[in-house]
Amino acid sequence: MKNKLVITNDGSHSIFNPEINETYHSKHGAIVEAEHVFIKNGLLAENNKQFNILEVGFGTGLNALLTAQKAKQKNIAVNYHGIELYPVKKENYTQLNFTGLIGEDNSDLLKLHECDWEAEQKINDFFKLTKNEIALENYTSNTKFDIIYFDAFSPEKQPHLWDEKIFNNMYKLLKEDGFLVTYCAKGVVKRTMKAVGFEIIVLDGPPGKRQMTRANKSISQK
């Protein structure tokens, strides 16, 4: 079964994966969700001008695209790392309509998908990208991150990506004052993150979700 494009409620595309019966983004709006969870409550939540960001679930490239756009607009230097074990195929990513909806050129999205893997690439003057085609449980990095965008498929569909071992690794990858943001606010996930040392902050969610989660690295608990 092939992945197929679907339209979400804000007019932006997502991709439906029939193998796990889930879309890459919220049906209530792919762009709206990404901007709320990862831009507003991630990149722009701290008033810094330089960030190392790790994205778990590079997927359609939407979070990277929005981050690159905002970095350029706000003069923020971003060193962005993305993990994706199953890269989106060209027949899908070339059809995505994100750039037209956010006022960017389609080549900006294509560059994110078509630049080399496993090597740092300069996307614009403010945004560097390193993509790694690797399973999350096997990922290591010498880079310490300010923010982790945790955008894996849901715990119901891929529970192994939301267990204590994974979050312990995410904790170690963060700088001392770093934090993780995710669309998920399920009690079991928050308890798992708290068990490895995260300080949990529940925030208002994007359209269609009552809550989302920010997890601060809390050195005093570790």
Is 157 domain-assigned? yes
Average pLDDT over residues 131-150: 97
Tally of domains in the chain: 1
What's at 99, amino acid-wise?
T
149: pLDDT confidence band, cut at 50, 70 and 90?
A: very high
Residues 36 and 63: beta-carbon distance below 8 Å: no
- Is 2 inside a domain boundary? no
Does residue 123 fall inside a structural domain? yes
| Enclosing domain of residue 126 | 29-221
Domain with residue 54: its CATH number is 3.40.50.150
DSSP structure string for 173-220: HEEEEEEEEES---HHHHHHHHHTTEEEEEEE-STT-SEEEEEEE-GG
d(CA 53, CA 50): 10
State the chain's mean pLDDT as an integer.
Answer: 96
- Assess whether pLDDT exceeds 70 at residue 48: yes
pLDDT value of residue 221:
44
Question: Does residue 13 form part of some domain?
Answer: no
Q: What is the pLDDT of residue 222?
A: 40
Neighbours of 39 (CB within 10 A): 19
Its pTM surpasses 0.85: yes
CB-neighbour burial class of residue 104 (10 A; exposed 0-12, middle 13-18, buried 19+): middle
For the chain, what is the radius of gyration of the CA atoms? 16
- Assigned domain for 12 exists: no
